[in-house]
Amino acid sequence: MLRSVALAIRKVTRGSDLPARYGGEEFAVLMPGATKRGAEALANRLLEAIAETTLESKGAALSVTA
């Protein structure tokens, strides 16, 4: 699931952004030059992308939210 979330984050971030995992289940995104409004917009897109992420395991669909 962590890999799936990481891929979702990569798809949403800009080329200049630096997404990183910094803890067990924690992620951060460094956004050089981003405004507060731009950061809020990205945060909303990240929440949506993560919520849409699913993974099948042992016949069950797993999902995650942030």
Per-residue pLDDT of 6-64, as tens digits, reads 999 999 999 999 999 988 889 999 999 999 999 999 999 999 999 998 888 888 888 88
Question: Does this model's pTM top 0.85?
Answer: no
- Beta strands 54-57 and 27-30, pairing class: unpaired
pLDDT of residue 65: 83
Please name the helix (run of DSSP H) or strand (run of DSSP E) that holds residue 24, with its range, or none.
Answer: none
Residue of 13, 15, 41, 38 whose CA lies nearest to 28: 13
Sequence letter at residue 3:
R
Sequence letter at residue 45:
R
The token pair that represents 63 in the structure block: 């999902």
